[in-house]
Amino acid sequence: MSNKKENTACAFKTSIGGQALIEGILMRGPSRQAIVCRKADGSLVSKEEDLKLTRDKHPILRIPFLRGLPLFFDSMANGMRALTWSAEQLPEEEQEQPSKLDLWLEKKLGSEKAEKAVVAVALVLGVLLAVGLFVLLPALLFELLPAGMNLVLRCVLEGLIRIVIFIAYLWLVTKMPEVKRLFAYHGAEHKTIFCYEKRLELTVENVREQSRFHPRCGTSFLVVTMLIAILLVSVMTWVLSLIPGLAALPKLAAALVRVLAKLIILPLIVSLTYELNRWVGGHDTNPIAKLAAWPGKMTQHLTTREPDDGMIECAIAALKAVIPEEAGADAW
């Protein structure tokens, strides 16, 4: 990238968001999502579908502070399905062969239900891995800190350990060639959305000039989640310390109570993070919002790369497919 200061001023802010896939892009609009992938022969293949969100079945989940968690899981599930579909577009020799479990599920449930089952299992395993790596491991290290250390300081250190693990994980995966391409598609997604928000014509030339660091990004959501967790976990741990019976428990039992409490407040952390990110996304010129968005944008130096023109073409095609007919219907 050039060293000149980038112009990220936009004519409006869109709610359209995306996800990098295997040799492709997922774009999600207000009511539809589109996947566009690059096949081995250079052609583009696409899939479009209407969005089916949990909140459509349960309108109460549209209420602020209730909407964040279901939207988070919907995004994860839709993203997992899109990732699976993009993998299926690879040449047959590059595709992973179905396991015996996959074949058994397809035989018993049929291909459509089997796919849903596989996605559900992958979603659960992904959540368990994230909880283990970013919640349980830091919590275990928290218990190894000196007991005489100030309680709030111990909580802050646990949060910092969680952030270090997250950054280290991202840095390690960037060493994989497949992930480098994935992160380049991520950069294409951001650049294309910036171009659209500036109301410029969606051409490769216009998109190429945009910044790959976008304030309304899933990376920012994860980073802010960890920062909010430091605050809430500190308060919760302090409250637990006031319970007389907890101090009388054996050390292992007390540690398990603290870990369980941290897991219980995870939905609250996700909900608060979603609402904060919505506010930050709509007020990105506000000094406080800029400060809140800064850690996520810095982390995007790891999770995005400069895309090639073919990747940009995928992103443009996916974005065009989800732009609503009614102008402004996708406004943030």
Is-contact 27 318, C-beta < 8 A?
Answer: yes
Query: What confidence category does residue 101 fall into, taking pLDDT thresholds of 50, 70 and 90?
Result: low
pLDDT band, very low/low/confident/very high, at 3 (cuts 50, 70, 90):
very low
Mean pLDDT of 302-320: 97
Nearest CA to 216 out of 10, 57, 55 is that of 10
∠ CA 275-8-221, rounded to 5°:
25
- Highest mean predicted confidence (pLDDT) among 143-157, 161-175, 179-193, 213-227: 179-193
Q: Give residue 141's pLDDT.
A: 81
Rounded to whole angstroms, how far apart are CA atoms 152 and 143?
13
Say yes or no to pLDDT of 192 above 90. Answer: yes
On the CB side of 70, how many CA atoms lie within 13 Å of its CA? 16
Neighbours of 318 (CB within 10 A): 31
Q: At what angle do helices 266-282 and 287-303 cross, to 10 degrees?
A: 110
Q: What's the whole-number mean pLDDT along residues 54-62?
A: 92
> 87 in helix, strand or coil?
helix
Range name among 14-28, 35-49, 77-91, 214-228 with the lowest pLDDT average: 214-228
* 102 has a pLDDT exceeding 70: no
pTM value is 0.84
Given a contact cutoff of 8 angstroms between Cβ atoms, the answer to whether 209 and 8 are in contact is no
pLDDT, averaged across the chain: 86
User: Residue 139's pLDDT is what?
Assistant: 79
**Secondary element (H or E) of residue 208:** helix 204-208
Confidence class of residue 2 from pLDDT cuts 50, 70 and 90?
very low
User: Which is more confidently placed, 70 or 147?
Assistant: 70
pLDDT of residue 103: 58
Is pLDDT larger for residue 90 or for residue 183? 183
